[in-house]
Amino acid sequence: MAILAALSGFLRPPDCLACGAVGAWPCCSVCLPPEPAGPGPWRLAADPSVTLWTLGLYGDALRAAVLAGKLRGQAAALAALGRRLGALLLAAGVGADLVTWIAARPARGLPRDHARQVASGVAAALDLPLVDLLAPASGRDLGRARSRSRSARVADGAAPADPIGFRERNRIDTVPARPPPRVRYRLNGGRVLLVDDVATTGGTLAGAATALRRAGARQVEAAVLGASSGAFGPPVPEPGPLARSPRRGPP
């Protein structure tokens, strides 16, 4: 079984990861159009000073494809989706000097290097160096810790069971549940493109962006395969130097 599992990571299945369409690996043009409306720029809700780029909303086909890539151990699929993201960033004129990723500790003895695989595709498409800048954050898994702490606050009556609204919900849900990652090197300026597979609240990306800036990065932008609606902040108001066409956030 172990050999079969290992082989399945190397042998490319010919089908769309999301819908199973034959001969459409990693994603057919219905599930993931070759030219989505645009990868951004948006702002990260958890830190509006950070620009967020993404293939699209994390749901439906995109979610199915990312999960299939992660759960079936398809490193090549995640890298291919990363190349697609990188190609869109190239077309959008994104500017960066290097690419890094949100590192995660192994869980139950299995590596969790999905973000590195996505980042390798992004870096290849942009022809940028891929640098192992971030050491995995210590502490509990962010998602579980956050849901526990939030449910505990709801039980205490400290947090509303029904979020008041977009901003209030984001403010509550982006309370850091663990320390930000440690940056391995001092940075002498430079523009960092920070990659993760998915942004749920964006809290992890915001914490890492802060750590990178404190380590000396001049600019940090974030790129993910898919982002949940709560990760998107207000629309970018002005066309920045990195964006040719500003777009509003997704509906």
Binding site for Zn ion (CB under 5 A): 16, 18-19, 21, 28, 31
Smallest distance, Zn ion to C-beta of residue 103, A: 30
Residue 121 — φ and ψ, nearest 5°?
Answer: -70, -40
Residue 216: Cβ within 10 Å count: 14
The alpha helices in the chain, defined as continuous H runs, are 2-10, 60-71, 75-92, 114-126, 142-156, 166-173, 203-214
**Which residue lies nearer to Zn ion by CB, 16 or 44?**
16
Distance CA 121, CA 77 (A): 10
- By beta-carbon proximity to Zn ion, the closer residue of 85 and 183 is 85
Least distance (Å) from Zn ion to the CB of residue 31? 3
Nearer to Zn ion, 52 or 68 (CB): 68
The alpha-carbon radius of gyration of the chain (Å, integer) is 18
Dihedral, CA of residue 80, residue 81, residue 84 and residue 90, to nearest 10:
-100
CB of 19 to Zn ion, least distance (A): 3
- What letter would DSSP give residue 22? T
Compute the least distance from the CB of residue 23 to Zn ion, in Å.
11
DSSP state at residue 229: G
Closer CB to Zn ion, 13 or 190, in the complex? 13
Nearer to Zn ion, 80 or 217 (CB): 80
Distance of closest approach, residue 14 Cβ to Zn ion, in angstroms? 12
Yes or no: say if 62 and 70 are a contact pair by the CB < 8 Å rule. Answer: no
